[in-house]
Structures are given as structure tokens and as C-alpha cells.
Amino acid sequence: QSVLTQPPSVSGAPGQRVIISCTGSSSNIGAGHNVHWYQQLPGTAPKLVIYDNNSRPSGVPDRFSGSRSGTSASLAISGLQDEDEAYYYCQSYDSSLSVFGGGTKLTV
């Protein structure tokens, strides 16, 4: 069982908007630790798409956005494209140790 809880799968049609949730607890997200999001395509390394809850690294489309509230966070992807189909993982910290969500498969 992962420390952070994500839905196993979400889906959406091209052009639609989807939201992936990440639920933690008072010792990680609720303690004020930032949440980061990664995209992983099959057979490749994870790629950072959102850092510090709602910031995008250079090169990540503004279709990707994030938010954090209380003990949860979410990743929103609008204007879905076929290339967005991938696994997405949230990550935070718990007493300075990193923790990941179990991952969510996005099907477009």
C-alpha cells in the first residue's frame, strides 16, 4: 500500500479535461510538504510535469496544472491529447523521506 493514494485509472476523450487526485495524511501533504507530479511513458524514466504543487517545468504545456489543499493534491490535464496517455505519479515527503502515490493510468 502506498503512503499517497491515487485512483488506479482515469480516462477522457481527446480535448476533454481530467483530474487525478492524490490523497495523503497529516504527516505528509497535510504537514505542508509540497507535492510533485511525474509522467511515465512505457519503458521510460519518469518525467517531472508539476513541481511545488502548481509550478510547471520549462517545456511542459500549460494544459498541465496542479493544486494542493489540506491533505490532498490534484493534477489537472485539459485539452487531452493522445500523447498524454501515460502513468502519472504524485510524490511528497513524510518526515523528510520521499513517498510516492501508487500511480494512475490515464487512457485517452
Residues forming the site for another protein (CB under 8 A): 2, 33-34, 36, 38, 40, 44-48, 51-52, 57, 87, 89, 91, 93, 96-103
Residue 52: C-alpha distances to residues 16, 33, 81, 108 (Å): 25, 9, 24, 26
- Nearer to another protein by Cβ, of 16 and 98: the residue is 98
Contact in structure between 99 and 93 (CB atoms under 8 Å): yes
Cα four-point dihedral sign 26, 71, 52, 105: positive
Q: Shortest Cβ distance from residue 13 to another protein (Å)?
A: 26
Q: Shortest Cβ distance from residue 44 to another protein (Å)?
A: 8
Any idea what DSSP says for residue 4? B
Q: Shortest Cβ distance from residue 7 to another protein (Å)?
A: 13
- Nearer to another protein by Cβ, of 59 and 62: the residue is 59
